[in-house]
Structure 1
Amino acid sequence: CDVAGLPSASLVQLHQWLLWNRERGTDPHCPELLAARAGKAFRALHGKPSELQTAVRDVLLLSCGVEGVEEEHRTSEGWTVDLLVTWRGTSVAVEVDGPSHFLRGSAVPTGATKLKARQLKAFAPTTPLVNLAWFTWDALPAVRQGAHLTGLLERAVLAAESGEQAPVPAPSASVSRPKRRRRKAAASAASLRTSFEAMARQAVKDD
């Protein structure tokens, strides 16, 4: 099938839809050529480390005694982890979530942030995940930043060793998403799923 004409944004969304199917254990019957092209488009997305991420990295290296830090680690599924930290021999994924990761004026993560966190946990269950929110970091005095990060890493590793998820502190404030917006988001997701299913069927027919 001819996938060269598909825009990059559509291929990226297709890859996310394929990951969603993989997470659910369902077969979308997508041709290998189309899936490979979608994965390539997704992996081509490059982010630039934020000042916040750089600050967290520096504290990890200078104050926490970590064994290693890898920035912008790419997973086999194509996701990019802000910081992959080695703590007591265990790799811990650290996501530094700035303001764009939350609904405006709230401490509620966006749908994209929740999706990434869920899939990082689903596809790498032996790698603990720590999400560090910008407002938590900003509220910390500089002298406590290292101890806070050390505590997060230690709790994450202990939780992984016991087969549990690391506890996530409740946000200091939250804004409930209106039901109408939730229904709209669900309708959009259903529409997107239908579009990609049609795309996959057409690709099979073209083959």
Structure 2
Amino acid sequence: MLELSILCWVHKKSDGCTKQLPLVLYVSFGSVCALTQQHINELASDVDVKNDDPLEFLPHGFLERTKEQGLVITSWAPQTQILSHTSTGGCVTHCGWNSIVESIVAVVPMITWPLCAKQRMNDALVTEGLKVGLRPKFRETDGIVEKEEIARVVKDLMLGDEGKGIHQRIGKLKDAAADALKEHGSSTRALSQFGTDLEN
């Protein structure tokens, strides 16, 4: 039931979408690493954290202020369906490998926000190697991304020329991945060779 209500919310956003202006920015930081309270405040554009809501980590009044614009999901989310929806124009990701692959398959440009472990290496691959994502600037003193920087990078990804270029590159990358999975594609051949090696 929760999955259906989430997808209904995303689908409702498609009423105002065009191919040039998708309206949903999916934000997911995974389930292993956590954001600091200060980062949550910057993301939510507020600094008052005195809150009696069940979602006490969010700034006071955030849910009320954003109820017509956003949806906060407190448990599992149907990520692949959200990313694949035509309303979704971007993804803020913690750079977990599954999230990166799912974004590429759905042709969804990324804003990278690595939190721990190999996520920083994945971030470099997405932003510098494949060039299918944007990285916000983190303050050198404390590693915080300020709300103005968050707004800038979201605007660049969703509306700017840089975002259009990323969308084109990620589309080509999806096509290359699909080719690799075909009957004589590189991934299919590699898996077949691996099976042969195991048998021997």
* TM-score when normalising by structure 2: 0.32
Q: Which has the higher contact order (CA 8 A, sep 6+)?
A: 1
